């Protein structure tokens, strides 16, 4: 993407702070969704590993950061770090199970693992609060200065800043030789070993990285809402993330973020206009976009720009 467009994207995101000062909670959650979808894109879009259970990492990060705060350590940045480590570790442990078969087994194994984790959280009310959610999460001010406020100002800037930094890192990584190797694996998984690439090791690394990203997204949600519930681990969250990714456009970091932001805002707008039947309109948009079939919003945008040029 061209630098001017890139700068425009981030300036526009930041300008939400002044343009929509009353909608900051929404924008903050859009940024968190964008981070989650970014993590999915690293895995699905770049490494070509399909998953239906990414919420496992999101939820683990959320519960990790939430529990840390509940137990009396509410410092947000270290909470993010802890969540990233925790989720990354789970990624490392489960990657060998996921990377055994083809696409469909991968989808189902990730789904199964996330459902197991969700059920475990449900059955350990002493630790997680069970179906009631984790109560008593208190987060200290960011950097000791910025308290999480009712208007969601701190939450928005905090989430956006984390998203931006992690985006820069993701861009760095995807442009690196490691990122190139991942694209190679996605492009042709048979050729890569013949080039001498230890495909499995690269995929495990990508899986753990993506898991850590998702964990941070979950931790952000836990910290900004000061609450964690089983919903963080749900199948719906995994599926919705995938939906946003395909909506935006696979294998492009901006596509991932665009999809998340557009979906979150559209969902919000529609459900406010029509609290009962918003799903109908979302569904219609998804069907239309799939039928148009140009590789998501990003592809559609590029096609439109291309036609004009």
Partner 1 sequence: MSALATEGLTRDFGGFRAVADVSLALAEGARHALIGPNGAGKTTLVNLLSGALRPSAGRVLLGGAEITALPQHARVKRGLARTFQVNQLFPDLTPEGAVGLAVLERQGLTGRWWRPAAAHAAEREEARALLAGLRFSAAEMRAPTRSLPYGRQRLLEIALALALRPRVLLLDEPAAGVPPGESRAVLEAVAALPRSVTVLLIEHDMDLVFRFAERITVLAQGAVLAEGPPAAIARDPAVRAVYLGGPAHG
Partner 2 sequence: MLTVLLDGLAAGMLLFVLSVGLSVTLGLMNFVNLAHGAFGMAGGYLCVVLLNRLGLPFLACLLAAALCTGLLGLALERLLYRRLYGRDHLEQVLFSIGLVFIAGAAVDWLMGARQQLITLPPWLSGRVELGGVGLGVYRLFLIAVCTGLLLALHLGLVRTRFGSRLRAAVDDAVVARGLGIPVERLFAVTFALGSGLAGLGGALGVEVLGLDPTFPLKYMVYFLIVVAVGGANTVIGPFLAAILLGLVDVAGKYYLPQFGAFGIYTAMVALLILRPQGLLARAAAR
Partner 3 sequence: MQARVTRRAALGAGAAALIAPALAAPALAQGRPARIGLILPMTGPFASTGRQVEAAVRLYLRQRGESFGGRRLEILLRDDTGTAPEVTRRLAQELVVRDKVQALAGFGLTPLAFAAAPVATEAKLPMVVMAAATSAIVQRSPFILRTSFTLPQVTAPIAEWALRERVQTAATLVADYAPGLDAERVFKARFTGGGGRVPLELRTPLRNPDYAPFLQRVRDAKPEALFIFVPSGEGAAVMKQFAERGLAEAGVRLIGTGDVVDDDLLNDMGRPALGAVTSHHYSAAHDSPENKAYVQGFIAANPGMRPNFMSVGGWDGMQLIAEALQATGGGEGEALLAAMKGRSWTSPRGPITIDAETRDIVQDVYIRRVEERDGQLWNIEFDRLPAMRDPGT
State the minimum distance, in angstroms, from the CB of residue 167 to partner 1. Answer: 15
Query: Residue 175 touches which of partner 1, partner 3, partner 2, none (CB < 5 to 8 A by kind)?
Result: partner 1
Query: Residue 195 touches which of partner 2, partner 3, partner 1, none (CB < 5 to 8 A by kind)?
Result: partner 1
Q: Is 64 near partner 1 (CB under 8 A)?
A: no
> Considering beta carbons, is residue 153 or 183 the nearer one to partner 1?
183
Query: Which residues of this chain interact with partner 3, rule CB under 8 A?
Result: 22-26, 29, 122, 125, 130-133, 135, 150-152, 221, 225-227, 229-231, 234, 236, 271-272, 275-276, 278-279
Compute the distance between CA of residue 57 and CA of residue 45 in angstroms, rounded to an integer: 17
State the minimum distance, in angstroms, from the CB of residue 120 to partner 2. Answer: 7
Q: What share of the chain is helix, strand, coil (3-state, %, to 5)?
A: 75, 0, 20
Residue from 40, 46, 44, 54 nearest 111 by CA: 54
| Token pair in block for residue 222 | 């836990």
Among 71, 188, 236, 279, binds partner 1 (CB under 8 A): 188
Residues with Cβ within 8 Å of 87's Cβ and at least 6 positions away in sequence, in order, are 57, 58, 60, 61, 64, 211, 212, 214, 215, 216, 218
> Considering beta carbons, is residue 186 or 237 the nearer one to partner 1?
186
State the minimum distance, in angstroms, from the CB of residue 137 to partner 3. Answer: 10
> Considering beta carbons, is residue 12 or 131 the nearer one to partner 2?
131
Tokens 């004009």 found at: 308
State the minimum distance, in angstroms, from the CB of residue 281 to partner 2. Answer: 8
Q: Is 193 near partner 1 (CB under 8 A)?
A: yes
DSSP letter string over 93-162?
Answer: HHHHHHTSS-HHHHHHHHHHHHHHHHHHHHH-HHHH-GGG-B-----PPBTTTB---TT-HHHHHHHHHH
Q: Is 195 near partner 1 (CB under 8 A)?
A: yes
Handedness of CA 24, 32, 233, 86 (dihedral sign): negative
**135-154: contacts with partner 1 (CB under 8 A):** none
Query: Residue 239 touches which of partner 2, partner 1, partner 3, none (CB < 5 to 8 A by kind)?
Result: partner 2
Reported residue count of the chain is 309
Q: What are phi and psi of 134, to 5 degrees?
A: -85, 115
Among 175, 284, 287, 304, binds partner 1 (CB under 8 A): 175
Q: What is the x/- site pattern for partner 1, positions 196-225, by CB under 8 A? A: xxxx-xx--x--------------------
> Considering beta carbons, is residue 197 or 271 the nearer one to partner 3?
271
Asked whether 245 and 36 are in contact (CB, 8 A), the reply is no
Query: Residue 190 touches which of partner 3, partner 1, partner 2, none (CB < 5 to 8 A by kind)?
Result: partner 1
Whole-number Cα distances in Å, 137 to 42, 145, 172: 30, 19, 34
Query: Residue 8 touches which of partner 1, partner 2, partner 3, none (CB < 5 to 8 A by kind)?
Result: none
Asked whether 228 and 137 are in contact (CB, 8 A), the reply is yes
Q: What is the dihedral of CA 280, 283, 287, 293, to 10 degrees?
A: 140
- Distance between first and last Cα of the chain: 16
Query: Residue 180 touches which of partner 3, partner 2, partner 1, none (CB < 5 to 8 A by kind)?
Result: partner 1
Contacting positions for partner 1 (CB under 8 A): 172-173, 175-181, 183-184, 187-188, 190-199, 201-202, 205
């Amino acid at each position: 993407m061209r630098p001017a467009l890139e700068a425009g994207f981030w300036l526009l995101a930041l300008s939400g702070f002044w343009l929509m000062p009353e909608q900051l909670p929404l924008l903050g959650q859009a940024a968190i969704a964008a981070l989650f979808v970014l993590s999915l894109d690293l895995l699905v879009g770049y490494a070509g590993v399909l998953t239906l259970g990414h919420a496992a990492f999101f939820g683990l990060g959320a519960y990790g950061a939430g529990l840390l705060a509940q137990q009396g350590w509410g410092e947000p940045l270290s909470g993010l770090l802890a969540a990233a480590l925790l989720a990354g570790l789970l990624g490392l442990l489960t990657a060998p199970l996921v990377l055994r078969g083809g696409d469909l087994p991968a989808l189902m194994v990730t789904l199964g693992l996330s459902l197991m984790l969700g059920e475990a959280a449900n059955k350990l009310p002493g630790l997680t609060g069970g179906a009631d959610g984790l109560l008593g999460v208190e987060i200290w001010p960011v950097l000791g200065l910025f308290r999480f406020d009712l208007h969601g100002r701190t939450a928005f800037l905090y989430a956006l800043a984390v998203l931006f930094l992690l985006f820069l890192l993701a861009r760095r990584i995807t442009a690196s030789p490691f990122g190139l190797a991942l694209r190679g694996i996605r492009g042709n998984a048979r050729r890569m070993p013949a080039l001498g690439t230890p495909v499995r090791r690269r995929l495990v690394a990508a899986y753990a990285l993506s898991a850590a990203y998702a964990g941070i997204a979950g931790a952000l949600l836990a910290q900004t809402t000061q609450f964690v519930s089983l919903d963080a681990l749900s199948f719906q969250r995994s599926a919705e993330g995938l939906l946003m990714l395909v909506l935006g456009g696979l294998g492009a970091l901006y596509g991932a973020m665009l999809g998340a932001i557009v979906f979150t805002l559209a969902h919000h707008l529609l459900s406010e206009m029509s609290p009962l039947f918003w799903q109908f309109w979302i569904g219609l948009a998804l069907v239309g976009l799939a039928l148009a079939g140009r590789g998501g919003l990003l592809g559609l945008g590029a096609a439109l720009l291309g036609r004009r040029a």
